Structure 1
């Protein structure tokens, strides 16, 4: 667990703690960088609690003691120090908002990497590798992710399709069988049209894999829910990193399926690469000639 997840866990568990332990939680959340340099007596003094209370706080979060807790916090902070969520300021220079966007993206990638459950990914990969047909559903910013996923899985010789139109999704949904898999992709997990088509998919017995936030209606409908939980500035809808994270998770699933299918698929990918060479421009282009050189030729 990195520091982002640790601090999030403290926030989520705070209401379950005793009042004295909540004082420790509040201090840690407000001063995480200071805590990693403190002794247990220092933290107890700053939080105005006893040392045993600090120990109980750590154990409530499933740590053996303060040193174990502090080590996890320090390791996380060391790798995530500069990767914080950003808020847009109209006075920002290009350099400043470029830095903010890239740092936020890197931070989100690191956070989701830690959050992704390996057993859930394995279940999704097994379902996809064994599917007769794979279809990707998504709307809005998730639609191009579905198109990209269709392309990736086609290259693996998987019978794949993507739909971002509600009518086509409905037709697809009622045409599925138990041997098929649908991957439903959503930044919110609450899009009504997507929930409707996924409900239709469930009636056919096909497997539903969802890429969406946890504790959402879509996650509850899915057989396999891959959580992508982000804390982003909701006013910056065009700058959200959810789409990039969805693309990375699709890459993980595609690589997993390729490995599952064995060496033959690697040979197939090499064949595709060779066949595409004729569609690319030859790098051996004539050297660039300036206008005055052309004038001398006339």
Structure 2
């Protein structure tokens, strides 16, 4: 009799418990760029299912073309995260094509006060990731109040780890403020500013960013900054190596100018913190060579 009663209790408990499928249901997040996808994973933890559209560091982000699979992922997303400032204009078109009043779009440019025409490589500005992280945590708490404590804890953990990167930036700035550098594109521009570095040849970089041909005088000024030692580091976009970039890299090598590659897509199998730490360490090492 007792065994029958115990079996009945178990059956009743199973009836009121959520099924594994229901318990495992996650909030779908789609990120245009994989670093925003990584951020969503760090904030949402086990409660989110994240899809990143631009995720291959070997691809040129400027050549991206949307596909039916991208459209399908966006149509079922609860939260969408993208850069804005005309960096990923295809996102606006795709979202307009699959209107969903319940979907929340988190746009880095809107959170940080940037607009079309600004340098769109916003993730290298130190305020961007904390702003997007905070917005993500708030939206996840709104949609999933039962796990609000998890989102708050994850946000606090991210902010603490990112503050260590800020300290790393400040330490480099203290040692090398006002050192002159240059770049083939303004990808690392915001971070160079945060490091206190003096960026040369910005008109050349703007022309390249806007798919325009730099003028002969801009090209000459760039090459001279490498040849005469004015620029101590040449930053280049390692995802975009055209003939112009290859020529400038060779000039830098010939004149013993330090070269640091930066990327627009986070390397696979890493996290934002490790990605930034690696690039900052390269800068620190390149600059330390100036005093040896």
Q: TM-score, normalised by structure 1?
A: 0.30
Which is richer in helix?
Answer: 1
The structure whose RCO (Cα within 8 Å, separation 6+) is larger is 2
Which is richer in strand?
Answer: 2
Q: TM-score, normalised by structure 2?
A: 0.30
